[in-house]
Structure 1
Amino acid sequence: MYNIPSQIILRRLMNKKILVSVLILNWNGKEHLNECISSLIEGCGRDDVEFVVVDNSSSDGSVEFVRDRFSFDERVKVLSLDKNYGWSGGNNRGIKKSIEQGSKYIFLLNNDTKVEKGCIEKLIEFSETYPEAGAVAPKILLYDQPFLINSIGLECSIIGSAWDRGIGRVDTPRWNKIEEVAGVCGAGMWLKSDALKIIGLLPEEFEIYLDDLDLCLRMWMNGFKVLTCPEAVVHHKFSMTWKTSVEREKRKYYLNTRNRFWLIERNFPKKELLKILMYILFGEAKAIGNSIKKLELWRVK
């Protein structure tokens, strides 16, 4: 049983305005929710923060579980959607509601994560110190190997390929600097509502892959910065489930390739498109050669 600080109870009676909306996107992930939400409750003592499970029409009893398990803390809420809108679509519906109610900051969080104590407070302090930051990347560590980095921001190449900065590297002091990055990993993404009002929301047409980067590139294009906040730490059960079958691998390859072209079209300088196309053709030729060597002929069809 958790003890809710008396100051939180007192402030709730005063209907204090919500400062931060933590949006936990969920679809049939009930097995992850207890640890994720518990880490938020235990790790954040502020009463002006809400923890909202944005449920994409789960069928595993996720909604009922959250309402029953965490009924003791009014900060835990559920936004139950009528169907599965995917990652961008589900988050967008949570973001819209958060902006409408006046939340200053929005923290997108995967359901298979847990936050370290003080994570949210550190992100709030960081954003107040660096108001030019429209998006902030916490340090995301691998859940089963917390000495290794999952992501501390995203990097991007001229051909639209993106990767998690620091992935698989040992978490040493070199990663504790505040730095500018191209984007933020969607597993733990801190956003400023005022920036979203200007640049818009996540691109739902992307379905999955590179939608988080697209949002952050639009931050840069509209005069905001994207920074890292290494003191705020999230642990992520980094999943490789897309590699469990050839069909899923095909789908992943298709979405990544299609979304790369969309990302370039939407965000890269038009005058550089011819040069970018040449780099893409060279890169794809190498990829085709590697696929033939590996007998992954579906990649060249």
Structure 2
Amino acid sequence: MLYNKFNVCAVIVTYSNRFGLLKQVIKSCIENEISTIIVVDNNSTSESKEQLVLFEQKYSKVLQVIYLDKNFGSAGGYKIGLQRALEQKCDYIYLLDDDNKLKHNAVSKLVDEWTKLVDIDNKEEQLALLSYRSDRTIYKEAIIKNNPSYILGMKNSFLGFHILDIPFKIIKFIKKKFIKVAYRKDCGINSGKVLVAPYGGMFFHKQLIKKIGLPNELFFVYADDYEWSYRIPNIYLVLDSQIEDIDISWNLKKISSPFYTYLNNGSDFRVYYSVRNRVYFEQSIVNNRYSYSINKAVFLFFLFFYRNCSNKSRYEIFKKAVIDGLSGNLGETFDMGI
């Protein structure tokens, strides 16, 4: 096949006891004829490591595993994996989460799109492609709306919240709840530009790393992918290249409001790092501090009153995360495990 000439190297980061998911992802990579698979074991459980050692022996021709003695988070894990990938003979790198199962021809569709994009000069240092994950519809909406920054919300938003966006969200909710407007599955668009992307599903040439650098390990987990991908000049979502998320992310589960998510969903650990890192990242893209401060104040006002019928201790953790994000207090500063 054509993409064999591209010598694709997949980088996957795993942790805890997720081998049941990971093995499905590895097999899907082999079925897609990826030439090299690098797994970064972020100090997973002994049971997971034992199974992974056997798997590494079985697929020794294509599979390499880096065993770490502590969890370096997603930022540190992908940094280590990318450093190993740069040492390989492959030309292209494909980042995946340990629950990103590739569908048939996921890689070949990316290669087709890469070949078609002839208008971008020096693609190797300027371009990344992104496979489509159907549970992350906001990326598809971004290219339908031809609004690459749609994923981050309106300019100067606080955690994606902007007061000027409230009327539109109300209208959208009413349509979804009562009018039952069907979401267009066939939009007639195969690809489009997005401003940021998750690690899982990103495809690019090795030269890109020399251009933008490696992930910032001080983020530890959450929003590190946004900060890193924001450095990429061009990111194109490719709808025909599809990934199935075989585990649902905590922040994508059905919710009633963002306030409920932060005060009730996930663990204290997850909420702290996702809020702290997103707030820190936002400081680099804000162009109107006054507008940003208003959005932050309104969001915190709503959250303050919502805490009375939710988790008050989580509210205190949320506040600390915001303070640390604004002050740039990064690193592994929260002492609870995942």
TM bucket (normalised to shorter chain) is 0.7 to 0.9
2:271 pairs with 243, 253, 259, which one? 253
- Asked if the contact 1:18/1:50 (under 8 Å) is kept, the reply is no
Quote the offset at 1:149 in angstroms: 4.9
- Asked if the contact 1:134/1:195 (under 8 Å) is kept, the reply is yes
CA spacing shift, 1:256–1:99, aligned 2, 3 Å: same
CA spacing shift, 1:73–1:151, aligned 2, 3 Å: farther
Structure 1 gap segments, 5+ residues each? 1-6, 8-15, 143-147
Q: Please tell me whether residue 161 in structure 1 is matched to residue 177 in structure 2.
A: no
Q: Which secondary structure state, in structure 1, belongs to the residue aligned with residue 157 of structure 2?
A: coil
- Distance in 2 (CA, whole Å) between partners of 1:193 and 1:180 is 20
- Asked if the contact 1:162/1:210 (under 8 Å) is kept, the reply is no
- Structure-1-length-normalised TM-score: 0.75
- Distance in 1 (CA, whole Å) between partners of 2:55 and 2:315 is 49
More strand as a share of residues: 1
- Distance in 1 (CA, whole Å) between partners of 2:84 and 2:24 is 25
Quote the offset at 1:64 in angstroms: 4.2
- Out of 114-123 and 131-140, give the one that drifted further: 131-140
Q: Which residue of 2 aligns with 1:13?
A: none
- Percent identical pairs in the alignment equals 20
Q: Which residue of 1 aligns with 2:191?
A: 178
2:91 pairs with 76, 85, 104, which one? 104
Q: Deviations over 1:99-133 (max 9, x none)?
A: 23354322111112210121112222323433545
Q: Deviations over 1:117-155 (max 9, x none)?
A: 21112222323433545332211135xxxxx95865770
2:33 pairs with 42, 45, 69, which one? 45
Q: Please tell me whether residue 215 in structure 1 is matched to residue 228 in structure 2.
A: yes
Q: Which residue of 2 aligns with 1:141?
A: 134
Q: Which residue of 1 aligns with 2:246?
A: 237
- Distance in 1 (CA, whole Å) between partners of 2:211 and 2:30 is 31
- Asked if the contact 1:25/1:55 (under 8 Å) is kept, the reply is yes
Structure 2 gap segments, 5+ residues each? 143-149, 162-175, 177-181, 252-260, 317-338
Quote the offset at 1:230 in angstroms: 0.7
Q: Which residue of 2 aligns with 1:4?
A: none
Q: Which residue of 1 aligns with 2:7?
A: 19
Q: Which secondary structure state, in structure 2, belongs to the residue aligned with residue 179 of structure 1?
A: strand
Q: Please tell me whether residue 197 in structure 1 is matched to residue 210 in structure 2.
A: yes
- Distance in 1 (CA, whole Å) between partners of 2:247 and 2:184 is 16
Q: Which amino acid aligns with 2:26?
A: I
Q: Which secondary structure state, in structure 1, belongs to the residue aligned with residue 244 of structure 2?
A: strand
Q: Which secondary structure state, in structure 1, belongs to the residue aligned with residue 74 of structure 2?
A: helix
Q: Which secondary structure state, in structure 1, belongs to the residue aligned with residue 151 of structure 2?
A: strand
Q: Which secondary structure state, in structure 2, belongs to the residue aligned with residue 285 of structure 1?
A: helix
- Structure-2-length-normalised TM-score: 0.68
- Asked if the contact 1:136/1:229 (under 8 Å) is kept, the reply is yes
Q: Which residue of 2 aligns with 1:297?
A: 312
Aligned length: 267
Bigger relative contact order, structure 1 or 2 (CA pairs below 8 A, ≥6 apart):
2
CA RMSD across the alignment:
3.3
